[in-house]
Structure formats: structure tokens, C-alpha cells
Structure 1
Amino acid sequence: MQSSLTARLAAITTAVLVTVLGGVVLAAPAHAATTYKGVLPAGTTMVAGDQLTSDNGQFRLVMQGDGNLVEYGIGNVVLYASNTTDKPGATAVYGTNGVLTLRSGGKAFKQWGSGANRGLGLILESDGSIHSVDTAVRVLWGIESFQNTVRSGTNIMPGTVLRSDASKSRTFTMQADGNLVQYVNGRATWSTHTNRNPGAWAAVQADGNIVVYAPDKRVLWASSTSRAGAGSLIVQLDANVVFYGKSDTRAWSTQKVTGLLWPVASRSITGRYGDDRGAGHTPRYHQGTDAGVKTGTPVYASGAGSVTSTVANDKTFGNYVVVKYGLTTVLTAHLSAIEVSKGQLVSPGTEIAKSGNTGQSTGPHVHVETRVNGTLKDPLTILSFR
């Protein structure tokens, strides 16, 4: 957890309740909605419109009027949802046994926790994770939600922690002392050196500039990328924090960029991006680049990323794998074997598959497709040969 559970005990027992008119709901409640700041005390029922926020308000767990319990992050990005929109008017009950239950019509239809211990509070942490703790201030269970991407036009408030993934080993933290710091495996690898400015915050501005402001709005640090335009700041799995501007190009990063690699140890190209495959082909123009290698050749990850799809026996691609690296995804297809699973973290040396001749293939090869922010690109302009 990002803060000591022992230190949170006082916050739990003196949790602040703020009454607001309305809330983030699909159907307006008849009551004045309640906001629980930092901690939801044991024995509390959340009805439509009620919400639990992190201490600085960056993360919100909302009991919506449609029955869905949803966590929103910076910029109202959905980080977690119970997927129960078919239960309008449902309530969320955090019991004294430490169990969180969704109820409708007097019946429970979804729950978290076992009830083996006495609950004390449900904490929405500064990194977006949700933890239930018992009276001894020990974690009973948790939802390890996180946010790794922040869009332009939003702020990163003091205490907020962005993470590349659920492991918590790669973080980007706007510390309470005013320092914006990148941590890798608990070690600071980059910072703005703006400590001794408690209350400072970071703005990911609409013009593409990333700025750390003092409480009196003095500029303490800036990335000097105001010409990049609106884009995304991403805490990546390759231990880099990168800002991509309006053209999806890398405008700023905390670490030196080494680039992404070609998936096989071969420079043989048997089909190029954009080749006209002739009338009757769908799509007619080749969307990737083909690596001419024999069946069984090792296929590797292109960098540090996460597997987003593994598909077997597709009519067109046969067996294929999709891996995401920041804004870039790499698809490798016509494989004879898949050696990774969805959600798995990979590095440049990870063997993810074996090449093959599956699907609509006229011979052994690996079909390689690259997309940047969803847009097809020529793989040979994105990936470097090994």
C-alpha cells in the first residue's frame, strides 16, 4: 500500500463525511448524496449517488443509480466496475465483518471478502487501489485497480500515484513534498527536484506542456513541450514515463528511449506493408509486413509490454498474439504455437510464440502488424531488426 495502515487508523475512525447535492449517477437519487473521504467505515450502506474518494479526490468509487459500482480515476477514466448495470437502485453495504456486498430487493447478488475477520474500514488509496482492513489494521482483501495514463487537460494532485500495472514496481508519484518522482522497484530513477514545496501539483496541460506548480501557482518545473499539443502521459512497462503529443509522437520521456525490436532474429522480408494483393483480397492492401522464416522459429516480444490478446484458430490469422508497448501494439500471426497468456508481462527477451503457417497463409512466415494509438503503421518504420 502507498501509506502505512497504522497511520491510516486515525483517518478511519475520524472519516470525514461531506454532503453534496447530486453525484455521478445515471438516475438522480431522491436523497442528498454522501461523499466519504478516504475511508468508508464498517457498517456503512452506500445508496445511489454516494461515493468514496481518495484523500485528495483523484479517485472515486461511486454507487451509481443503475446498480453499477464504478471507480473513476483522473479525467473520469473508468478503472473498475462491478458490471451490474441491470440492478437499478442497488446498494453497496460494507459490513462490520469486512465484506462488501451489493444488494437489490433485499438480496445480495455480488460480494468481496469472506467475512472471517471484523472489518474496520474500506480504504480508497492514493494509487487507485481499494483495500478492506480489519480492526488490527491488516488488509483483508483488495481490488488492485490502477491508472497508468493521464490525458492532457488534467492535474495530478499531491499524494497521487500512477502505476504501469498492478505490480506497483513502476510508479510516477506527485509527492506531498512537491517532488514529482519516478520509482522503479522502490528506487527513485528520475525527479523534478522540486521538494520543499508541500502542496505543489502537476498539470498535464492542453498544449502538451507538463508543469509542476507551487501552491501560489509559481512554475517550479516544466517539460518545455508546449508545442507537442494535447496527448497522453503514460507510465510504461519498460520503466519509462512518456508524453505522446497530438501526432502520437514521443515528445518527452524520463528515460532514454531504446526503441522496439523486430519479433524474429531474421531480416528476411517476403511481403511489405501496403502491397497490392490483387482484386478479391480483403483487405486488398497488405496491412503488415511478413518475416520469411521457417516453421518453429522463435518469436520474441519487441520490448517491455503486456499481452492484450492471444487467439487460436482464427480464420484469417490462424494463431496470433497482440502485445501492447505504450501507445504501440504489435500483432504477430500465422503462428504454430502460442507461449504466453493474456495479461502476461513480457520483455525483449521473452519468447512469446513459434512461427508457423496457420490461417490464410501461403507458406511459413510471421505476419507482423503495428498500430500506434489504434492507427496502422508500417512495421519497418516502428521496429528495429535484432
Structure 2
Amino acid sequence: MRSTRIWTRTVTAVTVMAIALAGIVVTAAPAQAATYTGLLPAGSKLYPGDSLTSANGQYRLVMQGDGNLVEYGIGNVVLWASNTANKPGAVAVARMDGYLVLTMNGGIFAKWGPNGYASKGFSVEPDGSMRTTDTAGVVRWQLTAFQNRVPAGTVLKAGTTLRSDASTARVLTMQADGNLVLYVNGRAAWSTKTYRNPGAWTAVQTDGNLVVYRADGRAIWSTRTYRAGGGQLLVQVDGNVVLYGKAGTRSWSSKPVTTLLWPVVSSTISGRYGDDRGAGHVPRYHQGTDAAVKTGTPVYSSGPGTVTKTVANDPSYGNYVVVTYGVTTVLTAHLSVIEVSTGQVVGAEQEIAKSGNTGQSTGPHVHVETRVSGTLQDPLTVLRFR
């Protein structure tokens, strides 16, 4: 058996958000822009406006006129970018020696992957990942960009996969046989049972319904949530597929949803959401709820989620952690110790920190803040005491 070393770079969901906010400018493609499908053969180039799409057409890599090489996912979500928007006229080259490079005026200013082998080319795969292979078809380097959610008004075509995170532990696949299947650790955990329908696809509809359509356009399965309004479909790290409606509320899920838990083992509250803290406080009205616990008390995750921010020594919050659970985020602040890192996937009831008295705090406690679809909500209406 041949031993193959695959070089992998992972782009997390947090990175995707940062790129999307960085102000990527999409420039108009020239009239004769070239589009490659599946593979950019070794020795080929992407000029400004050219693109490389996955075989199922759901993911595309675009060489933009501003010099940025960008991969877009379903619904034009930015999955990866070279962050080279200050290089107008740049060209991407899949070199014969295995490197993917960006060039301008004859000089190379960015490159990815190992070299030293005869390359077949650079490809965009049906799951959104990008890779180089040698002439024998062996993967030599891979850039793992993933998509864990799709907005209303989009479809999942045959061969398309969504993943909860950079791993392959939780994968939702629209199979070629017409079955929409959630795999957890390689085993089917849920499906629409619509196999024997080759050519079928799944629509995340703007009316709030998730529907599997046969190749002839006939609906063969749905969530029957057509009154929920268009939201998004999300593959979560708790192994659940959840459909959210227009208001950001859960309208359907592949398995029952467990309530998120209060971050400490205590129900003693020292400050409530919306309390008027008096003039001079910014913000004046309390944005969270305070758990009165002594310094060093374990702070736990509220369920399976992804750490989306860790900050030390913030003037107001002190040390704090933000964990995302589907469309809900839970912030815990004034911590003495942070025990997780940004991008880390945490399990149910995993210890993530210890309470403290850091930042703008008048005594030991944990400040708890919750947002649902970006909107502040009273933590006591979102979280359940342990």
C-alpha cells in the first residue's frame, strides 16, 4: 500500500466570518471569462474574472479583478479567500510542480501546497474542499473549507455535503440516490428515506419548508413548515440538523433538541437582565444576568458547541468566552481562567473556564449574556439551571 502524506490547512467558521467582514469586493467578470469545472489542469491559469467550480456547481473559486482569490459556497457565502485584494490584475496558476500560486507582473506573491511532484491539477470538490493531486490521482495537499449552513432560497444538489465543522464527524449529504442523509462518525444517524430517486435535490424554501424534490419536480418529502418563513438550515456540532424560520426560531430538527444549560452549578442571581445600573455605566441597562459564585468555580459549556471568541483582559468584561450553539451564543465574562481556544468544538457540559473578578466587576461572579440570531435575550429565558 502506498504511503501518502496529505498537507492540510483548515479554515474554520470563525475565519469565514472574518473574511466576509473584511470587505471583499466582487468585480465584474470580463466578457470572455473562462469557467473550469471540477479541475484546473496543471499548467493552467485563472485570469481576472475566471472561475473554477465543483462538479455539482455548488462551490466556486473566483479570481477576482482586485487580486483576491475567493471561494464561494451555496448562497454566495464566502468560505475562503487569499486576502490579496490589493493586487489588481493578479493571476492564479496551478503549476506543474504542485504549487498553486498567485502572480503579478511576473512575480509570485502567494503560494500554497508542497511541490516536487508531477501535478494533475487543482480541484474544487463537491464538499467545498480544494486540493492538488499528482498524475496518479493521489491527493498531495488539501485546503479544507467547509459550509455548515445554507440560507433560504438555495438548494442542495446531488453530491453536495454540509459539515458542522472542519472535521468529518457530522456530515449532511444529498446523495446521488436521492436520499438526504446525516452521517455522525461515519454512520447514518438520520435520513429522509428518499433513496431510489436519482437526480433528486433538496430545497431550503423561502416559505420555511425543507423539501426533497424528485428529478421531475415532484415533492417526495418535506418538513411541512411552510408557515415559518425563510431562515436557514444548519448542521450543528451536537449532531442535529436544524431548520430555523424567518424569526430565527427553530421550526424543525432531525432529533429532539435539548435545552441549553446555565454555565455554573448555582441558581443564585446577583444581577438581572435589563437592570438599570445607573448613570455612568456603559451600557446603562444590564445586557446579561449575573451568577453569584466565588472565584475558581467551574464554568461549563451549555451544550455541544463551538468556541467563537476568547478574549483576555477586556476593560469591561475582563476575561471572557463566547460559545455558539446553532443560532444561539452564550458569553461568560469576568473569568479568572480561560480553558478553551477559538475554533475549538466543545462537548456537553465541558469545563471551559473558571469564574473570577476580572474587568469592570465589583465582586466575584460570572456575567452571562445570550444572543439568538444576533439579538440579545434574557439568559433566564434561554438557559435552564443545572
TM range (shorter): over 0.9
| Contact 1:64–1:70 (Cα < 8 Å) also in 2 | yes
* 3-state SS of paired residue (1:228): coil
Tell me what 2:297 maps to: 297
Tell me what 1:67 maps to: 67
The 5 A counterparts of 1:1-386 are 26-28=26-28, 30=30, 32-386=32-386
| Contact 2:29–2:50 (Cα < 8 Å) also in 1 | no
Give the whole-Å Cα distance in 2 for the aligned partners of 1:117 and 1:261: 52
Deviations 1:60-86 (A, max 9, x none): 001111110000011111111101000
Shift of 1:136: 2.4
Letter in 1 for 2:268: S
Tell me what 2:15 maps to: none
Question: C-alpha root-mean-square deviation of aligned residues, in Å?
Answer: 1.2
Letter in 2 for 1:268: T
Shift of 1:39: 1.0
Give the whole-Å Cα distance in 2 for the aligned partners of 1:338 and 1:226: 43
Shift of 1:114: 2.0
Give the whole-Å Cα distance in 2 for the aligned partners of 1:190 and 1:28: 42
C-alpha distance 30-295 of structure 1, shift in aligned 2 (>3 A):
closer
Letter in 2 for 1:188: A
| Contact 2:95–2:121 (Cα < 8 Å) also in 1 | no
Give the whole-Å Cα distance in 2 for the aligned partners of 1:357 and 1:76: 43
* 3-state SS of paired residue (1:257): coil
Q: TM-score, normalising length from structure 2?
A: 0.92
Give the whole-Å Cα distance in 2 for the aligned partners of 1:355 and 1:167: 30
* 28-37 or 238-247, which deviates more: 28-37
Letter in 1 for 2:367: H
| Contact 2:261–2:384 (Cα < 8 Å) also in 1 | yes
Structure 2, unaligned runs of 5 or more: 1-23
Count of residues paired in the alignment: 363
| Contact 2:30–2:49 (Cα < 8 Å) also in 1 | no
| Contact 2:124–2:131 (Cα < 8 Å) also in 1 | yes
Structure 1, unaligned runs of 5 or more: 1-23
* 3-state SS of paired residue (1:144): strand
Tell me what 2:4 maps to: none
Letter in 1 for 2:267: R
Deviations 1:262-288 (A, max 9, x none): 111111111111111112211111100
* 279-288 or 206-215, which deviates more: 279-288
Q: TM-score, normalising length from structure 1?
A: 0.92
| Contact 1:132–1:140 (Cα < 8 Å) also in 2 | yes
Deviations 1:282-336 (A, max 9, x none): 1111100000000000001111111111111110001001111110010000000
Give the whole-Å Cα distance in 1 for the aligned partners of 2:26 and 2:192: 40
| Contact 1:25–1:48 (Cα < 8 Å) also in 2 | no
Give the whole-Å Cα distance in 2 for the aligned partners of 1:43 and 1:169: 35
Structure 1 runs, 4 residues or longer, greater than 6 Å off:
none
Tell me what 2:20 maps to: none
C-alpha distance 27-261 of structure 1, shift in aligned 2 (>3 A):
closer
Shift of 1:144: 0.3
Letter in 2 for 1:317: Y
C-alpha distance 215-265 of structure 1, shift in aligned 2 (>3 A):
same
Deviations 1:73-114 (A, max 9, x none): 111111111010000000000011111000011100100012
* 3-state SS of paired residue (1:363): coil
| Contact 1:25–1:63 (Cα < 8 Å) also in 2 | no
